[in-house]
């Protein structure tokens, strides 16, 4: 009798399991398509400059980041007040190292020169504070998967200012933000 009951329970469980497997699953609703980001416009591609000079602060790092509407380049200048962080950012035909006049090759459809009015060395000791080497790619920066940036080079530091070259896909609009301790350059993905 116990054996018949065990067989019957096993058969009932097997039937229920197979029956459940035969019932088609209800399809989950399709995920809503990701809304396109509302990208800013009106940045323009003409030169942007602030002639201020930092006093005693120096560059320690340069890095990049990807965003929905733009690629970002950040130069870290710890201790620098936003208002004192001077710069010139503009498109050039060729990145020319100051003061040597040596051209530095930068890949991409256009070259955005970024000059930060802060040295890549300690002004009191002359010791380097930024590990970049003139004419070389930026240390620690990998541009794989970026929509706008194609290359990023360090051109060196001379007389209290440092020079970078960003290779971008094309001449695209950009903006410059002065923040305490950081200079930020955003280059749009499209016009």
What tokens appear for 183 in the block?
Answer: 């200079």
The Cα 162–Cα 87 span in angstroms is 9
Query: Cα dist. 181→49, 56, 78, 79, 83 in Å?
Result: 17, 12, 4, 5, 10
Q: What is the pLDDT of residues 132-180, one digit of tens each?
A: 999 999 999 999 999 999 999 999 999 999 999 999 999 999 999 999 9
Confidence at residue 10, expressed as pLDDT on a 0 to 100 scale: 44
The whole-number average pLDDT for the span 19-37 is 47
User: 């040295």: which residue's tokens?
Assistant: 119
Q: What is the pLDDT of residue 144?
A: 96
Tell me the residue length of the chain. 191
Query: Where residue 9 falls among pLDDT bands split at 50, 70, 90?
Result: very low
CA distance 42 to 37: 16
Cα angle at 69 between 147 and 173, to 5 degrees?
85
Say if CB 121 and CB 129 are below 8 A apart. yes
Question: What is the radius of gyration, based on Cα positions, of the chain?
Answer: 28
**Burial (CB count <10 Å: 0-12, 13-18, 19+), residue 57:** buried
Query: Tell me: domain 48-188, CATH 3.40.50.300, correct?
Result: no
pLDDT reported for residue 34: 55
Q: Global pTM?
A: 0.80
**Encoded tokens for 96:** 């020319």
Q: What share of the chain is helix, strand, coil (3-state, %, to 5)?
A: 15, 35, 50
The full set of domain ranges for the chain reads: 48-188
CA-CA distance, 153 to 132, in Å (whole number)? 9
């Amino acid at each position: 009798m116990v054996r018949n009951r065990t067989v019957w329970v096993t058969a009932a469980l097997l039937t229920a399991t197979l029956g459940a497997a035969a019932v088609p699953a209800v399809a989950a609703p399709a995920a809503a398509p990701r809304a396109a980001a509302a990208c800013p416009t009106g940045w323009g591609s003409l030169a942007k400059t602030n002639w201020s000079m930092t006093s005693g602060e120096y560059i320690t790092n340069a890095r990049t980041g990807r965003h929905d509407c733009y690629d970002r380049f950040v130069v870290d200048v710890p201790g620098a007040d936003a208002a004192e962080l001077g710069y010139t950012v503009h498109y050039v035909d060729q990145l020319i190292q100051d003061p040597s006049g040596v051209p530095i090759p930068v890949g991409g459809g256009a070259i955005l020169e970024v000059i930060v009015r802060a040295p890549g060395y300690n002004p009191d000791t002359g010791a380097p504070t930024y590990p970049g080497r003139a004419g070389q790619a930026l240390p620690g920066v990998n541009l794989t998967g970026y929509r706008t940036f194609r290359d990023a080079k360090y051109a060196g530091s001379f007389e209290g200012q440092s020079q970078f070259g960003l290779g971008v896909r094309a001449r695209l609009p950009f903006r410059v933000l002065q923040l305490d301790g950081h200079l930020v350059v955003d280059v749009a993905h499209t016009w």
